[in-house]
Amino acid sequence: MKRVYMFIALAALLLGGTLPAAAAAIKFEASGFWHAAFILDHDLDFDGETTEDSFYGANRLRILFSAQAGEHVKGNWEFQGGTWEWGASGEDTAYGEGGDARLDTSSQDLKTRLAWLDVTIPDTETTVSAGIVQLTLPNAVAGNPVFDDRVGGVIVNSALSEEVKLSAFWVRPFFSPRSDKQSHYNSMDLFGVFAEAALGTGWVSPYFVYGEAGHRADQGDFDFAWAHGPEDSSSPNGYADDNKKTILLFGGLALELSPAENLSLKLDAIYGNAKNPSKDAYETEGYMLALGVDYELEFGTPGLIAWYSSGANRNGQGVLPVIGTDGGVGYTRLGMAGTASLGADSLITNTAVGTTGLALQVADISFLESLSHTVRLGYILGTNHKEAGDPEIDGEDFALYGISRELSFVELDFDTTYELVENFSALLELSYVIPMARGDFKRGYKNEHDNKTPDNAFNGQLYLMFDF
């Protein structure tokens, strides 16, 4: 059936220009990419196991179809094929997505990423988007850790003037349908508003989000959902308790200014809390600040990113709660969510929650036409209490909650982009991450790993990109 839908969509694109006049009012467009990657990994868990070294190839395609009727209505559908790891199938792949790329394959791995309807209200500058939408909270530096993901809901965008735009949304990240009397505890709902105002030399975007989560809003196996409470919590979402909803509040500001020629200043400031009226329910509140500075020169663009995110105390409280983090925060490439390819990233953190650090880089270094380089040096330090969180070095454990104050990482990134022809480029990404453990963490790790210290990690990726 999926192939039938694909055939209909492609036929509409090919034959759209020859349809009768009654149907010619529908305008079809397509955009997307075909990408392939060759990837080499070494010890991405930092545990010294050489069996984890690997080389593999993979590819992915993603296409967005849009059908527009006049000026006011447009339907959008984005699907993805892959990621296919060549020679592997299903959970055996590095991606664990079920794509079959073995000998003589006939993969069924075609999935919908986004599907939404845009309706522009006549004689206004207001558009309503409803369906599976992409919701990204404002950010200026390198991503928003609270929400940057696909989700079902409604987003309303309106231009109040040429300088000011206003958006409001309702989205439902989780819903567990039930027939009992407590059905209003089966969902997680978020309501928010954000604005963007043009300034004389930049822009500013404040936002506010209010959320409610019932104790039966089961996340299932969603790895990067909002931060849980303690592992022994009986509630699916950690914070909530029976018959009481957890209330989530977030406020933030994204700002970018250019006070002088070639100089760019960026700021992200975020506060969030999650509280439940039950006496024994897990609660947390935290904040995050990030600053970015870039100065464009003839040979390249030197810059820095500095950030601080509050850490957890020994009870696990004090971290900034997060919700949808598929986009992640990319202050560095491998340790954080900074890759542009199909390979690994987020070895240390996907959100920057529970960490602080500094990244120095020179971007867009170019001495030859169509060839550019970026060099980056990053330092990441934990802000969590040494007794908070899981003491194992494991990217999935760190990804949401940050790391201990007794653990830090140094990362070196080198990226090269070469545009071969229009719409087709090659990207080479190389990263090396060095973990440094101290105090009780170091002693505990050595006791559990035959007196060994954490090993260094390496990742290299050659990425071929056709974008249209």
Structure tokens at 420: 């071969």
SS (H, E, C) 71-104: CCEEEEEEEEEEEEECCCCHHHCCCCCCCCCCCC
Residue 399 has pLDDT above 50, yes or no: no
Residue 227 has pLDDT above 50, yes or no: no
Q: What pLDDT is recorded for position 392?
A: 44
Distances 468 to 109, 116, 465 between C-alpha atoms, Å: 22, 21, 10
What average pLDDT score do residues 382-397 get? 59
Structure tokens at 200: 């004389």
| Secondary structure (DSSP) of 203-214 | EEEEEEEEEEE-
What average pLDDT score do residues 370-396 get? 76
Structure tokens at 111: 């999935």
Q: pLDDT tens across 47-82, in order? A: 766 555 689 899 999 999 999 988 899 999 999 987
Structure tokens at 337: 């969510």
Distances 456 to 152, 435, 459 between C-alpha atoms, Å: 40, 6, 10
> pLDDT category, 422, cuts 50, 70, 90?
very high
- Tokens 């006011």 sit at which residue? 72
Q: What pLDDT is recorded for position 16?
A: 42
What average pLDDT score do residues 107-135 get? 92
How many Cβ atoms from other residues are within 10 Å of residue 180's Cβ? 8
> pLDDT category, 318, cuts 50, 70, 90?
confident
87/381 Cα distance (integer angstroms) = 38
Q: 413, 339 in Cβ contact below 8 A?
A: no
148/18 Cα distance (integer angstroms) = 40
Q: pLDDT tens across 182-204, in order? A: 556 678 899 999 999 999 899 99
> pLDDT category, 339, cuts 50, 70, 90?
confident
Q: What pLDDT is recorded for position 262?
A: 94
Q: What pLDDT is recorded for position 412?
A: 97
Q: What pLDDT is recorded for position 93?
A: 60
38/56 Cα distance (integer angstroms) = 6
Q: What pLDDT is recorded for position 95?
A: 57
Distances 436 to 42, 317, 453 between C-alpha atoms, Å: 17, 25, 9
How many Cβ atoms from other residues are within 10 Å of residue 270's Cβ? 25
367/373 Cα distance (integer angstroms) = 9
Residue 107 has pLDDT above 60, yes or no: yes
Residue 176 has pLDDT above 50, yes or no: yes
Which residue type does 65 have? F
Radius of gyration of the chain (CA): 23
pTM: 0.85
Direct distance between the N- and C-terminal alpha carbons of the chain, in angstroms, rounded to an integer: 27
329/336 Cα distance (integer angstroms) = 7
Phi, psi of 400, rounded to the nearest 5 degrees? -100, -40
Residue of 313, 361, 311 whose CA lies nearest to 338: 361
What average pLDDT score do residues 440-467 get? 79
How many Cβ atoms from other residues are within 10 Å of residue 224's Cβ? 21
Residue 97 has pLDDT above 70, yes or no: no
Residue 249 has pLDDT above 80, yes or no: yes
Residue 143 has pLDDT above 80, yes or no: yes
What average pLDDT score do residues 155-173 get? 95
Please give the residue that has the higher pLDDT: either 226 or 301: 301
Q: What's the topology of domain 121-467?
A: Porin (2.40.160)
173/149 Cα distance (integer angstroms) = 10
What is the residue-averaged pLDDT of the chain? 81
Q: What pLDDT is recorded for position 219?
A: 54
Residues 6 or more apart whose Cβ sits within 8 Å of residue 94: 39, 54, 56, 58, 85, 88, 344
Residue 38 has pLDDT above 50, yes or no: yes
Biggest CA–CA distance in the chain, Å, is 77
Please give the residue that has the higher pLDDT: either 143 or 184: 143
Query: 42-46, 324-328, 410-414 — which is least confidently predicted?
Result: 324-328
Distances 276 to 92, 171, 218, 285 between C-alpha atoms, Å: 40, 21, 17, 12
Q: What pLDDT is recorded for position 229?
A: 37
> pLDDT category, 240, cuts 50, 70, 90?
low
β partners of residue 364: none
Domain edges within the chain = 121-467
- Could you give the dihedral angle defined by the CA atoms of residues 10, 26, 424 and 336, in that order, rounded to the nearest 10 degrees? -100
65/136 Cα distance (integer angstroms) = 21
Query: 99-103, 314-318, 461-465 — which is least confidently predicted?
Result: 99-103
28/64 Cα distance (integer angstroms) = 11
User: How long, in residues, is the chain?
Assistant: 468
Q: What pLDDT is recorded for position 210?
A: 96
